[in-house]
A and B are shown apart, each in its own frame.
Chain A
Amino acid sequence: MKSALALLKKDFSSEIRTRYAINSLGMFIVVTVSVILFSIGNEKINEYLTGGLFWVVVFFTSMSGLSRAFVSEEERGTALTLQLLAKPESIYSGKFLFNVALVFSMNLIIAVLFSLLFEMFLFKNLLLFVFAFIVGNVGVAASSTIIAAIIAKAGSKGTLYPVLAFPILLPLILTLIELTKQAMDGNTVSDSSVELAVLFCYDVIMISAAYLLFDFIWKD
């Protein structure tokens, strides 16, 4: 756990030094949202569509940003050193925590932008959306971290990342879109407890599977 936190700290300081993720992901979000705005034009879109578009933007931003966790190690040639210094479990935890932080900050920006730019992006029950948002972000981070590790070992093929991650993230995203609709309709948390339970199960299953399998990817 200690080495996981050290790894997290190292990633943070290297992030603050280069500001790669902050700059490029911030711009990516702005570009994607403005493409959506241009394509909508003066059209009046209904609220369910904004909910769906929100998760589309989240998916593509994650796909462009989260693969860096392991790809950057391979690019800088530091993967071998990391292999010597820390246990695979703590490496996965460190990268996972960093990606959780990244996903949360990214999605908060997207959510704020959406609520500013789309007047239909309104929730009758904000609490349910917040729950779904938190549990969903952890799920996105968990599965994209393990896929990022696979990609880094497969020779950092950037186009492969969304291809591999999409089927894994699909149950999560479908449930999240469903929950977003329900939050817009004003369902209470207990009304949507089944969907929240599905999300929670997904998180637990993904994190434990990733912990078990990371060992095999990481050791060459």
Chain B
Amino acid sequence: MAWKIFLFVLMTLVCIAGITFPIVEEPSKWYHFPLIPGLEENAKIIFFHVPTSWITVIAFLMSTLYSVRYLRKKDLDDDSKAYTAAQLGMIFCILATVTGAVWAKFAWGSFWSWDPRQTSIFALLLIYGALFALRSAVDGEEKRATLSSVYSIIAFVTVPFFIFIMPRIMKGLHPGSADDTNAGPIVDFKMNSNMQVVFYLSLIAFTILYYWMWNVGYRSHIVKEKLQKQIS
């Protein structure tokens, strides 16, 4: 219970700080964010957009890990865990895509411009979609679990190409692209310390939120499967 209250406090703090803290040219108070030329107020997306895409990848990683565990131990509970992680990953993937596209309209001038990172989030959406299409196509839960585990592992080995290789060798608009002059770690680029604190708090809050959702999700999925077996 305590950590749920902690999550609530953390999430409230992040929302309030991320939305209301002013961006000023010369930060003097503790709650001032620095002005980043070319981004201005748009810079605040980093508190919400980056955590959602982070969760997208974490969820995919967890789905793959539980798929590997399923293939080793053939325990259907692991499949439920992998499936729930994939479901949540899909939700966060859509959130990241939509927030990114809306933001891009105001910052870059168009909703979609096939920047390498947009391509990779699109590919992740396709992978999640394909995974659910495959699951719905197969009857028999063990076969379904095996095939979707294998597919999610194969899909996962291509993810490094999308997330780490393509955005860095191709020209793009996101920080960290090949033609980015202030290349370097994406996180600390031009953020001052209080911005970083809010950003990391937001990452932590979103991760806890995801973990909670996943925990509730997979337990209800297991119960649902068991009930279905009892009925039939």
The residues of A with any CB-CB pair to B shorter than 8 Å are 143, 146-147, 150, 153-155, 157, 160, 163-164, 166-168, 170-171, 174-175, 178, 194-195, 198, 202, 205-206, 209-210, 213, 216-217, 220
Can you spell out 25 A-B residue pairs with CB atoms less than 8 angstroms apart?
A147-B154, A150-B151, A154-B147, A155-B137, A155-B139, A160-B133, A164-B133, A164-B134, A166-B126, A166-B130, A167-B130, A167-B155, A170-B162, A171-B158, A171-B162, A171-B166, A174-B119, A194-B169, A198-B161, A198-B169, A206-B154, A209-B157, A216-B71, A216-B146, A216-B150
State the total of A-B contacts with C-beta under 8 angstroms. Answer: 83
Q: From the candidates A170, A205, A217, name the one contacting B157 in the complex (CB within 8 A).
A: A205
B153 and A157 within 8 A (CB): no
Chain B, 138-180, contact with A by CB distance < 8 Å: what is the 0/1 string? 1100010011011101110110011001100110000000000
Residues of chain B in range 159-217 having any CB-CB distance to chain A below 8 Å: 161-162, 165-166, 169-170
B133 and A217 within 8 A (CB): no
- A165 CA to B155 CA in the complex, in Å? 9
B55 at the interface (CB under 8 A from A): no
Chain B residues, Cβ within 8 Å of A166: 126, 130
B52 to chain A, nearest CB (A): 20
A206 and B157 within 8 A (CB): yes
B-side interface mostly: helix
B138 and A154 within 8 A (CB): yes
B127 at the interface (CB under 8 A from A): yes
B154 and A216 within 8 A (CB): no
Chain B residues, Cβ within 8 Å of A163: 129-130, 133
The residues of B with any CB-CB pair to A shorter than 8 Å are 71, 119, 123, 126-127, 129-130, 133-134, 137-139, 143, 146-147, 149-151, 153-155, 157-158, 161-162, 165-166, 169-170
Chain A residues, Cβ within 8 Å of B137: 154-155, 157, 160
Q: From the candidates B126, B150, B153, B165, name the one contacting A170 in the complex (CB within 8 A).
A: B126
Q: From the candidates A143, A164, A170, A194, name the one contacting B123 in the complex (CB within 8 A).
A: A170
User: Top 9 closest A-B pairs, CB basis?
Assistant: A171-B161, A167-B126, A167-B127, A213-B150, A154-B138, A164-B130, A209-B157, A170-B123, A163-B130
B154 and A213 within 8 A (CB): yes
Chain B residues, Cβ within 8 Å of A174: 119, 166
Q: Besides A167-B130, A209-B157, A216-B150, 7 other CB < 8 A contacts? A: A154-B134, A154-B143, A164-B133, A167-B127, A213-B153, A213-B154, A220-B143
- A150 CA to B144 CA in the complex, in Å? 10
* B161 to chain A: closest residue by CB: A171
Assuming A150-B134, A217-B146, is B169 touching A210 (CB within 8 A)? no
- A185 CA to B129 CA in the complex, in Å? 36
A6 to chain B, nearest CB (A): 26
Of B138, B143, B154, B165, the most chain A CB neighbours within 10 A belong to: B154
- A147 CA to B129 CA in the complex, in Å? 15
B96 to chain A, nearest CB (A): 16
A36 to chain B, nearest CB (A): 22
- A216 CA to B149 CA in the complex, in Å? 10
A198 to chain B, nearest CB (A): 6
B154 and A168 within 8 A (CB): yes
- A154 CA to B154 CA in the complex, in Å? 16
Chain A residues, Cβ within 8 Å of B166: 171, 174-175
A153 and B157 within 8 A (CB): no
Q: From the candidates A150, A160, A178, name the one contacting B150 in the complex (CB within 8 A).
A: A150
Chain A residues, Cβ within 8 Å of B165: 171, 198
A17 to chain B, nearest CB (A): 31
- A157 CA to B147 CA in the complex, in Å? 13
B154 and A209 within 8 A (CB): yes
- A209 CA to B151 CA in the complex, in Å? 11
Chain A residues, Cβ within 8 Å of B134: 150, 154, 160, 164
A150 and B157 within 8 A (CB): no
A210 and B154 within 8 A (CB): yes
B168 to chain A, nearest CB (A): 10
A209 to chain B, nearest CB (A): 5
